[in-house]
Amino acid sequence: MAIIAALLQLLQYKPNAIVGIFPSDHYYADDAAFTTTVKSAISTSKRHHDSIVLIGAKPQWPEIEYGWIEPGPLVRNGSGAPVFTVSRFREKPPLLEACDLIRSGGLWNTFVAIGRAGAFMNLLASTVMPAMTRIAEAVAHGDLRRAYGEIETIDFSRDVLSREPRSLLVMEDAASGWADLGHPERVISTLDRHQIEPRWLREMRGAKPQLNPQAAIAPSNHRPVSRSRDRAVGGTYARSRPFHPA
């Protein structure tokens, strides 16, 4: 809903603006590499006015708690970075399916999306028009608080992106070291993987010395921890190691 409200107000001032949506709970080991990918996505959106460009991270293991994107055929782009159509989305696949997705070129869905404001509005109008109409009324009357209380929660991936894959393109990010920090356990495993041990983590662990790269591997008796909105943190053993397809 916040995306719709922001787009409606932006369009009043700059109808041809290129918009980027960036989730706030992500980590990038290499900011420069991620910036390069974003610039390529912006260039692509200038050539493909009616499409939204998604950034998919190259998977390092068969993660069962991420959403996945299945790329379609290669698109003529001209920007140098390969761009693909989107075949479909897979949300939290079982382990065997995640392994198949890696072998077939599947990507982790980072939910980073870039495109013209008008392209986003067209996508939203074709998928969640009632919500869009209500929020437009609220923006016009300066009453967003009431509208937010009346409208059901919209899952941007499930309710919008996955319903109109024909409006989407995807670009691979293989160099930024992307990770989702949506749960405290993911924060710690990401720090361990990059051999980072801030003071608070040392204190939490009883001032133990910095862990080696193998520390990201969970013990065999590790038990999954549930998170809000029914998102479990399972498969930690799989997340801890790069995956090498046969």
Tokens 């029914």 locate to 230
Residue 241 has pLDDT above 50, yes or no: no
Measured CA to CA, the distance from residue 54 to residue 163 in angstroms comes to 14
195 in Cβ contact with 214 (< 8 Å): no
- Residue-wise pLDDT for 114-137, tens only, equals 999 999 999 999 999 999 999 999
H helix runs in the chain, sequence order: 2-13, 31-47, 95-103, 117-127, 129-141, 144-150, 184-193, 199-204, 236-239
* Token pair for 130: 């009632």
Side chain identity, residue 125: A
Domain locations in the chain as residue ranges: 2-173, 182-239
Whole-model pTM: value is: 0.80
- The reported pLDDT for the residue numbered 218 is 39
- Element (DSSP H or E) covering residue 174: none
Tokens 């719709």 locate to 4
The mean pLDDT of 29-37, rounded to a whole number, is 96
- Residue-wise pLDDT for 61-74, tens only, equals 999 999 999 999 99
Please tell me the class of the 2-173 domain: alpha beta
Residue 77 has pLDDT above 70, yes or no: no
- The reported pLDDT for the residue numbered 226 is 33
